[in-house]
């Protein structure tokens, strides 16, 4: 019976490790992801996905994202 309990514990640990690893991977955000977001905003705005009263907020976030990406590019180039 003790062996069965140990087997159950051993079988459960890799699942927990995999879940933790997946959670860590999903929390990562990189420059390529941010470039993708910028592209999505470009496409959505060109297709009229945003209402006129939403364009100011979208534009402000787009500009922040664009400036950040520009700064990152400059720092990577240096």
Per-residue pLDDT of 4-20, as tens digits, reads 665 655 555 555 577 66
The pLDDT assigned to 77 comes to 84
Report the predicted TM-score, pTM, of the whole model to 2 decimal places: 0.62
CB 28 within 8 A of CB 20: no
CB 24 within 8 A of CB 41: no
Per residue in 21-72, pLDDT (tens digit) is 666 667 799 999 999 999 999 999 999 999 999 999 999 999 999 999 999 9
Q: Phi and psi dihedrals of 28, rounded to 5?
A: -80, 140
Q: What's the domain range around 21?
A: 2-77
- Number of structural domains found in the chain: 1
């Amino acid at each position: 019976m003790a062996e069965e309990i140990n087997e159950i514990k051993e079988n459960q640990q890799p699942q927990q490790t995999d879940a933790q690893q997946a959670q860590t991977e999903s929390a990562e955000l990189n420059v390529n992801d941010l470039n993708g977001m910028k592209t999505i905003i470009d496409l959505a705005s060109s297709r009229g996905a945003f209402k006129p009263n939403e364009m100011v907020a979208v534009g402000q976030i787009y500009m922040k994202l664009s400036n950040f990406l520009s700064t990152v590019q400059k720092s990577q180039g240096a």
